[in-house]
Structure 1
């Protein structure tokens, strides 16, 4: 556009006055600059760009652009040298929102921020408040065989701990570092009785791992010797990995329902895992599609035909 206007000025107006030509050039340059500033302001607030430059020069917090100028990633390091990634989207001037982070975000949902420094200071304080949460999760991950989630991170507020081939312990950790929603995945009477009696004596002065060991009267946590059935697949980097598959859908993951297949059949010679939703729907269908009482379906294991029950939800 600028070149075309310049050509028109020279060829059509044919200025024979140098001062007129310079004035025309100055006007064209000013118009082009105004248009460029308008486009830049429409893409992203110039103040944000200046703030990003200042943060980058400071060096204490990593800041990176995403796929567009409106997507950012901050990396905040805490006192224990943990690196926490925060993904941010620019909506309009003075309006930034948090898309995701490798942290529990329940208290941060739907919050709007006016600038990046406000986000940095808020999350630095939040990370300090999560110190007990980090400690408990790290202690669980170090001492226990974690069956789920796979590749657990600080964003995952729960762990499923291996007890035996048919039983896992589900436990959630609150941001304050307290254990909650503790229950068994599986129907082992042995572990169930220990858990029910032990929970009454939970000692809040002990950490979660020590409490679990006291409840189940163990000196160390069991380690799985085998996990069947398994599916062999290749990661993007070419490494081969195995994952537990469901005996009904023959998949490890369901698109709309997160979670691995579980040891829901308590027949020790069965060894087949199922997604809770798959087994529940199977049992309901076998019973004529009648809704089960109290949300608990009963019937026979699809593999070993032994009696089995399955609730609709994990609780």
Structure 2
């Protein structure tokens, strides 16, 4: 039996063993087959890496899971509120680990290489601790507001679009420090727009984002929408969700090549037709002769009510 077959046999028969015991068995097999190694091939495993994993499990008390191969690793870091933050790691070779995915806002930590699993755990523990206010603010928004976008929000999404009424949403981004930024309305409403412009002048960053929003718009409670059924894990199971409307152009709610859901982009309140931003932009460009519009803003008539309408290619 060669090395690969022995390892596969251990993995298949070791399902009832603890991970440290399994790692010891792997190390024993590898030690018998090879003396030293500087690279990892299909037949070789880095002993130092296996020892690193064992130490993380034994001393750091961090759950570690292997994927389909020993090169794919998932670690789970708990914050002070016992929230779970999975980190997906790719083993590229001895002292060469990279982050393949995290459910956290992007940071420079995800773009560098690491020499050990311990180095990754130490760096991300500190990073997760620094995001405590960020987590808290997003959880509060998700708990009390009807979230229109993202459709399935996680801590990786640093923005929320909150339902204010049937045609108006509030876009809020949350910085890693837990502060609100890039606050603007999605949809046309003079009433909501005036409230926002006046309220932003008195925005208090010492208060929670949710409290500021309620003050700005004179809200006692946030509008509630019908709950959207889903089997995907989200931040809060108590969050009300609304089924997205169909786009008046493509007649779909979601398109793989066009992220986002239809929005109330027409400025005519009685219109009530929603559009994907990309669909409306392409429609207006085509109606205008197909030439790229100046400054990236296409103008024309609403496809539904013929009211004058303008649309940017991207929502900035």
What does residue range 1-315 of structure 1 map to in structure 2 within 5 Å? 33-34=33-34, 41-43=40-42, 44-58=45-59, 60-224=61-225, 242-315=243-316
Q: CA deviation at 1:242?
A: 4.9
- Separation in structure 2 between the aligned mates of residue 234 and residue 205 of structure 1, nearest angstrom: 35
Query: What is the CA deviation profile of residues 140-174 of structure 1, one whole-angstrom value per residue up to 9, with x for unaligned ones?
Result: 11111111101211111000000111111101000
- Separation in structure 2 between the aligned mates of residue 224 and residue 255 of structure 1, nearest angstrom: 25
Q: Tell whether the 8 Å contact from 2:38 to 2:94 is kept in structure 1 after alignment.
A: no
Q: 1:235 to 1:246 in 2, by over 3 A?
A: farther
- Separation in structure 2 between the aligned mates of residue 107 and residue 209 of structure 1, nearest angstrom: 29
Q: CA deviation at 1:41?
A: 3.9
Q: Tell whether the 8 Å contact from 2:40 to 2:94 is kept in structure 1 after alignment.
A: no
Which SS does the other structure have where 1:108 is aligned?
helix
After TM superposition, the score normalised by the length of structure 1 is 0.80
Which SS does the other structure have where 1:192 is aligned?
helix
- Separation in structure 1 between the aligned mates of residue 108 and residue 39 of structure 2, nearest angstrom: 33
- Separation in structure 2 between the aligned mates of residue 155 and residue 132 of structure 1, nearest angstrom: 14
Q: Tell whether the 8 Å contact from 2:40 to 2:93 is kept in structure 1 after alignment.
A: no
Q: Tell whether the 8 Å contact from 2:160 to 2:171 is kept in structure 1 after alignment.
A: yes
- Separation in structure 2 between the aligned mates of residue 234 and residue 126 of structure 1, nearest angstrom: 30
Q: Tell me the residue number matched to 1:11.
A: none
Q: CA deviation at 1:87?
A: 0.4
Q: Tell whether the 8 Å contact from 2:64 to 2:75 is kept in structure 1 after alignment.
A: yes
Q: CA deviation at 1:313?
A: 1.8
- Separation in structure 2 between the aligned mates of residue 49 and residue 192 of structure 1, nearest angstrom: 58
- RMSD (CA atoms): 2.7
Q: CA deviation at 1:225?
A: 6.3
- Separation in structure 2 between the aligned mates of residue 180 and residue 106 of structure 1, nearest angstrom: 17
Q: Tell whether the 8 Å contact from 1:297 to 1:311 is kept in structure 2 after alignment.
A: yes
Higher strand share: 1
More deviation in 82-91 or 283-292?
283-292
Q: CA deviation at 1:276?
A: 0.7
After TM superposition, the score normalised by the length of structure 2 is 0.79
Q: Tell whether the 8 Å contact from 1:296 to 1:312 is kept in structure 2 after alignment.
A: yes
- Separation in structure 2 between the aligned mates of residue 151 and residue 204 of structure 1, nearest angstrom: 27
- In structure 2, stretches of 5+ residues that fail to align are 3-31, 233-241
Q: CA deviation at 1:59?
A: 6.9
- Separation in structure 1 between the aligned mates of residue 227 and residue 134 of structure 2, nearest angstrom: 30
Q: Tell whether the 8 Å contact from 1:166 to 1:265 is kept in structure 2 after alignment.
A: no
Structure having the higher Rg: 1
Q: CA deviation at 1:243?
A: 4.1
Which SS does the other structure have where 1:89 is aligned?
strand
Q: CA deviation at 1:292?
A: 2.6
Equivalenced residues, count: 276
